[in-house]
Amino acid sequence: MQSVFSDTAWSVREPLIEEVRPKGKTPPKNLRRTISAIFWLHQNGAKWRALPSEFDPWWIAAQLLIRWSKLGVWQRLFEKVKDRD
């Protein structure tokens, strides 16, 4: 699995993500891979369909990004990260 986060970096970020993400009936599968895909796209300035196949299909990451944006999840996450610094 490709990831933009090392295991150590993910162990720091995962609890913050769990605090702010919407709680549905079931937790999203492969959340690390999906969030890694979003960060990879941002870092590389690539288009969604250029996402490497090691990540989730591009539309899964796009849906999560859009859904979380509308719900304010990213803003809450950035505030949590900022408060830690």
- 14-69 pLDDT per residue, tens: 999 999 998 876 677 788 999 999 999 999 999 999 999 888 889 999 999 999 99
Cα 76 to Cα 82: distance, rounded to the nearest angstrom:
10
Cα 37 to Cα 80: distance, rounded to the nearest angstrom:
21
DSSP 19-36: HHS---SSPPTTHHHHHH
- In this structure, what are the phi and psi dihedrals at residue 33, rounded to the nearest 5 degrees? -65, -40
Cα 77 to Cα 85: distance, rounded to the nearest angstrom:
13
End-to-end CA distance of the chain: 29
pLDDT at 26: 65
